Amino acid sequence: MTDALVAQGTLELQSDETAARRSGRAYAALALGAVLFVFAIWYQVYGDTRRDAQVWTDPLLQSHRQWRLRTAFVFLVWSILAGFCVPFGLGALLFAPIWLWFVYRVIRGGVQFARRRVI
């Protein structure tokens, strides 16, 4: 579908350099999400699902885009579920491994992106 939009001229392919800068900013926002995960989720949805972000052709950038989106959404879902468990005394026990998993994903993704490796 995006090929058809590009052919019609409604979408323009962005340069890999621009996409790489966006990807770097997205990792920074995701790291900030360890404390303010609502901001990270918003940035992932806004920055990675805009029309021009969907036509990235570089497999490295596409791979990391998917990695960040999965990380952000899984973190959000598990955090909400853990939040519902707080009144029962289980929330605090659930937040620690969720947060550690999130930090691991952000660090691993950032390191792999810096090494220019597809995840």
pLDDT digits (tens, 9 = 90+) for 6-45: 455 544 555 677 777 777 777 777 777 666 666 666 666 6
Stretch 56-60: mean pLDDT, rounded? Answer: 79
| Residue 22 tokens, joined | 């966006």
Q: What is 33-89 written as a DSSP string?
A: TTT-HHHHHHHHHHHHHSGGGGG---HHHHHHHHHHHHHHHHHHHHHHHHHHHGGGT
DSSP state for residue 118 in the 8-state scheme: -
pTM above 0.85, yes or no: no
> In terms of Cα–Cα distance, which of 118, 3, 4 is closest to 61?
118
Domain locations in the chain? 2-114
